[in-house]
Amino acid sequence: LFGWILPENPMVFSTFREPIERLLSSFHYGIQFGGGRPGEVGKCMLPGVEKLENWQARVIEARKAVDESRNDTTVYQNVLKEYLTECKSAADNAYVQFLDPNTKNVNVALENLEKYVIVGLQTHVEESLERWMNITLRSCRGRPQFPIIKDRLRKEYHTQAGKKWRASDLLTDSELKLDGTPKRNDHFKHEKEREGEEPTVKL
């Protein structure tokens, strides 16, 4: 998107996921497309199957084999290696492709990230929404339309924050059991406890 669709000096809000977790999610769901401009996006063929649902069934069987064999990951690793070989463009770091679609250079991607992107975390949806709202309000303070912006953001925030997010919306694949239910999530600390309380705009 940078250097292509987005205007010069954009402000981008985006939620990011831990890169390895995102790669494993692409593997589990059989993502076949990478990043790039229209006409330049390639599609890989999922190894050993003809249909997407057959791929997902194959991955489920590989994951079950880990439990049934008492943590022998050989079958799972072999399927993962096949996917990484055949679908390298889709499995490649999606964030670098998003941040620098032209050259896919990690240094350019990091520069764009630091300059233009306000990052939220998919594991902390409500905190990310709150941060984005407060940054937007601070940025817009003093503008003639600020009261309208503030009112609309407040309503939207409370609408989104009041939703009951599904476990699959908030948790990464490693935090889900094979049947899709969440494991214990005690090892995640509240982001504000780690970084200190961020000043907020009272509504």
Question: For 44-98, how does the pLDDT look when each residue is reduced to its tens digit (9 = 90+)?
Answer: 899 999 899 999 999 999 999 998 888 889 999 999 999 999 988 777 777 887 7
Given pLDDT bands bounded at 50, 70 and 90, which one contains residue 41? confident
Q: Give the pLDDT band (50/70/90) at residue 197.
A: very low
Residue type, 69: S
Predicted structure pTM score: 0.60
Residue 180's pLDDT band (boundaries 50, 70, 90)? very low
Q: How confident is the model at residue 37 (pLDDT cuts 50, 70, 90)?
A: low
Which pair of structure tokens corresponds to residue 140?
A: 């817009």
At residue 74, the pLDDT reads 93
Residue 30 CB contacts under 8 Å (≥ 6 apart), including other chains: 46, 52, 55, 56, 59, 83
Contacts of residue 120, Cβ cutoff 8 Å, sequence gap at least 6:
13, 14, 15, 16, 127, 128, 129, 131, 132
Helices vs strands, H then E, count in the chain: 10, 2
pLDDT, position 39: 67
Q: What is the mean pLDDT of residues 144-160?
A: 82
Please say if the pLDDT value at position 146 is more than 80. yes
pLDDT at 130: 83
* pLDDT in the model for residue 170: 37
pLDDT value at residue 161: 64
First-to-last alpha carbon distance for the chain, in angstroms, is 33
Q: Which residue has the higher pLDDT, 156 or 1?
A: 156
Weakest mean pLDDT among 2-11, 138-147, 169-178:
169-178
- Mean pLDDT calculated for residue range 111-119: 87
| 165 vs 8, higher pLDDT | 8
